[in-house]
Amino acid sequence: MNKTEKIYEIAIIGAGPGGLTAALYAARAEADTVIIEKGAPGGKVVKTSIIENYPGVEAVDGFDLASKMFNQVMTLNVPFVGGGVEKVSKNNDIFTVQLDNGTEIKSKLVIVATGTLERKIGVDGEDRLYGKGVSYCAVCDGALYKDQEIMVVGGGLSALEEALYLTKFAKKVYLVHRRQGFRADDKTINKVKANSKIELILDAVVDKINGKDLVEEVIVKNIKNHKTTNFAVKAIFPYIGAIPITDFVEHFNVLDKEGYIEVDLKKQTKVDGLLAIGDVTNTQLRQITTAVGDGAVAAQRAINILDSID
């Protein structure tokens, strides 16, 4: 097992916008900080096509924004450790972050910024055809379906934005949602309704995904009359919510009934020294801007705690 006796002042778990902002503020305050991330730096931002609601920037590619955030932090020589976190424990005011590769990282404070995982539809064919037409990333895979008919599932802002993005490639996009209304801003909703490539399939749910080696059709069921319709599509992109990545702190009893980490206005949990930010918390809004704000607040609070310890 690869262990280190070094004790960092702040360990940040997650390198999305919130985690990177926390690292930026912490490093600029000369706190001994480490970032832990099992995937690509930037989190879900990397998978977002165009961002149009980041202040001061009319439109930016998600990957480009994430890269700029990450590179800015790296100029401050913040260590970046790759690996998934299995458990965070605390003993004598020191936290130990255990990674799935055997590494253990010790720190005085921990900021959790792990975000969420995409929720699955849970129907036959979804897992079997994952990567073969079932995709949770339109930016990653949308271009594979140029001039094809595809399907998006969901009624939130992400589903609508990705449906619009996919019209750049697809001949037709079916948007399936279990209700009539959408959980998004009026401007985005109107864009979707006005796009001739998008056909709304409302009051409906996906019943099954068929295909031998690739997605060949999706069976959709109307929840009012229970009638099913087969759609000959080449891909399906579910955007039906997310699950917070919090299993490694569950034993601290800091989660709400939905699994999100409960924090106060200073982003503190009820465990001294354990803070959390962004999508993984019980926040009212999950956006890049709110995650960035959370990161600044948490880092500043962490600095204040360290000053009081010293």
Catalytic residue list: 137, 140-141
CA distance 61 to 201: 29
Amino acid of residue 102: G
Give the residues across from 89 on adjacent strands: 96
Coil vs helix vs strand at 200? strand
Mention every residue, 6+ apart, whose C-beta is less than 8 A from residue 142.
49, 165, 166, 168, 169, 170
DSSP secondary structure letter of residue 251: G
Which of 63, 53, 49, 288 shows the shortest CA–CA distance to 162? 49
CA distances from 206 to 118, 159, 226, 250 (A): 16, 15, 12, 32
Which of 44, 24, 46 shows the shortest CA–CA distance to 35? 24
Give me the helices (H) in 89-217, please.
Answer: 138-141, 157-166, 186-194
